[in-house]
Amino acid sequence: MWHEPDQGDAFAPHDHALCQSRALAEAEERLRQQGARLTPVRRRTLEILLEAHRAMGAYEVLDRLAEAGFGRQPPVAYRALEFLVEHGLAHRLQRLNAFAACLHPGEDHAPVFLICRVCDKVAEAHAGNVRSELSSAAGELGFTVERATVEALGLCPACAGRDAE
Amino acid sequence: MWHEPDQGDAFAPHDHALCQSRALAEAEERLRQQGARLTPVRRRTLEILLEAHRAMGAYEVLDRLAEAGFGRQPPVAYRALEFLVEHGLAHRLQRLNAFAACLHPGEDHAPVFLICRVCDKVAEAHAGNVRSELSSAAGELGFTVERATVEALGLCPACAGRDAE
DNA sequence: ATCGAATTGTAATAAGGTAACAAATTGTGG
DNA sequence: CCACAATTTGTTACCTTATTACAATTCGAT
């Protein structure tokens, strides 16, 4: 029924409960190694992102945190989100002013994001080639790439199918 | 002294006055063809971006427009900037919430931006390969790329040189 | 137990962006 | 030239996103 779970492919049908619990387990393991703490706010924030399984604005996350009994002030959400991003457990999507849980933390990845303009789902694509082409194009101008933002807007397979009908 | 002016390479030493006046001339030509009007606010906005030769926030542009006698309200700047972006005369940098003049309008380009984290200058790199790698990585997941944002943060040659000393 | 560091709560405010509508300008057909 | 429609500009009001600063609390290790 489910195909073999590819952690990066949010567009493919898959078992959400499973990918959530795995991401959470990986997060705990990773943070333990780094000596960082997954405190209640941080944990809840990650769960919120994982449950939504899409990009969420900081204020949307904040509302959910408040419902769970945490503070209602922006820094509460921004701090937790920043922590997750710094530790590779979530990503920030510049194009949307939003955040999404990382679906395969642990890998040393600098992902490329695919954002469906219809359903707002976000997938992370493997993109070693994109990065290396970028570095080489930059290198021609003597520029050294340190971090890169690669975000594509378009149509996911499900929405493209619906469109075509 | 100046090497042959490469319009995309903001990092290379070059004659600013020349690249500004050329960009402006190209803008006029392009808009004439499209039947769009380069009104005073729009023209001044483009000049402001060209003079700065770096990315500027909308409110910074707005201040300059106000100095020049135009309205002081955000929509004044946002409308002019949006017009320029729509007509390929400027770009929006998601990563910085900012705008920069396009240095080679007319080419059918979807540029890659190189942003120096030290001096804030922005260059546009030719990036056909980056785009095609992105499309093919997306294609593997069945995703169709319509628009893509590719922005790299790093060190320009001048600042890298200064760093190394 | 206690001290210092990390974390969380809160208030206040800055920065970025848009909606809605009125006034002015421009271009066009009569 | 005049009137009319379309475009452009000005302005008000407001919304969303993000940060600074500081107080209160909790955690961990001596």
- Same-domain check for residues A91 and A21: yes
Q: Give strand D nucleotides closer than 7 A to any protein Cβ.
A: 7-13, 16-21, 27-28
How far is the C-alpha of A100 from the C-alpha of A61, rounded, in Å?
10
Owner of token pair 């789902």: A121
- Same-domain check for residues B95 and B120: no
- Same-domain check for residues A43 and A93: yes
- Cβ partners under 8 Å of residue B20, min gap 6: B47, B50, B51
What is the per-residue pLDDT across A61-92, written as a single tens digit (0 to 9) for each? 999 999 999 999 999 999 999 999 999 999 99
- Same-domain check for residues B24 and B44: yes
- Same-domain check for residues A65 and A129: no
- Same-domain check for residues A100 and A118: no
Evaluate whether residue A4 is within a structural domain. Answer: no
- Cβ partners under 8 Å of residue B17, min gap 6: none
Report the CATH number at residue B60: 1.10.10.10
Pick the closest to residue B84 from B125, B43, B32, B34 (CA basis): B43
- Same-domain check for residues B20 and B98: yes
Give the mean pLDDT of chain A: 89
**Per this entry, what is the length of chain A?**
165
What is the per-residue pLDDT across B61-101, written as a single tens digit (0 to 9) for each? 999 999 999 999 999 999 999 999 999 999 999 999 999 99
Q: What is the DSSP string of chain A?
A: -PPS--TT-TTS---HHHHHHHHHHHHHHHHHHHT----HHHHHHHHHHHHHTS-B-HHHHHHHHHHTT---SHHHHHHHHHHHHHTTSEEEEGGGTEEEE-SSTTS----EEEEETTT--EEEE--HHHHHHHHHHHHTTTPEEEEEEEEEEEE-HHHHHHHH-
Strand C and A154 CB separated by under 7 Å: no
Within 10 angstroms of residue A66's Cβ, the number of other Cβ atoms is: 14
- Same-domain check for residues B114 and B93: no
How far is the C-alpha of A159 from the C-alpha of B15, rounded, in Å?
48
Residue B82, CB half-sphere, CA atoms under 13 Å: how many? Answer: 6
Owner of token pair 């004659």: B15
Most confidently modeled range among A70-74, A121-125, A161-165, B51-55? A70-74
- Same-domain check for residues A17 and A95: yes
The pLDDT of residue A165: 59
- Cβ partners under 8 Å of residue A161, min gap 6: none
Evaluate whether residue A1 is within a structural domain. Answer: no
Domain end marker among B105, B127, B142:
B105
Q: Which domain holds residue B88?
A: 12-105
Q: Do B116 and A149 touch (CB under 8 A)?
A: no
Evaluate whether residue B23 is within a structural domain. Answer: yes
Evaluate whether residue A75 is within a structural domain. Answer: yes
Report the CATH number at residue B117: 3.30.1490.190
- Same-domain check for residues B76 and B123: no
What is the per-residue pLDDT across B107-160, written as a single tens digit (0 to 9) for each? 667 789 999 988 888 999 988 899 999 999 999 999 999 999 999 999 999 999
Domain end marker among A104, A126, A145:
A104
Say if residues A57 and A49 touch (Cβ distance below 8 Å): no
CA of A74: nearest nucleotide by C1' is: D18
- Same-domain check for residues B117 and B83: no
Question: Token pair for residue B46?
Answer: 């483009």
Pairing of strands B144-155, B112-116: parallel
The pLDDT of residue A8: 56
The pLDDT of residue A108: 60
What is the total count of domains within chain B?
A: 2
- Same-domain check for residues B97 and B19: yes
- Share above pLDDT 90 across residues of chain A, in percent, rounded to a whole number: 66
Q: How near does any CA of chain B get to the CA of A26, in Å?
A: 24
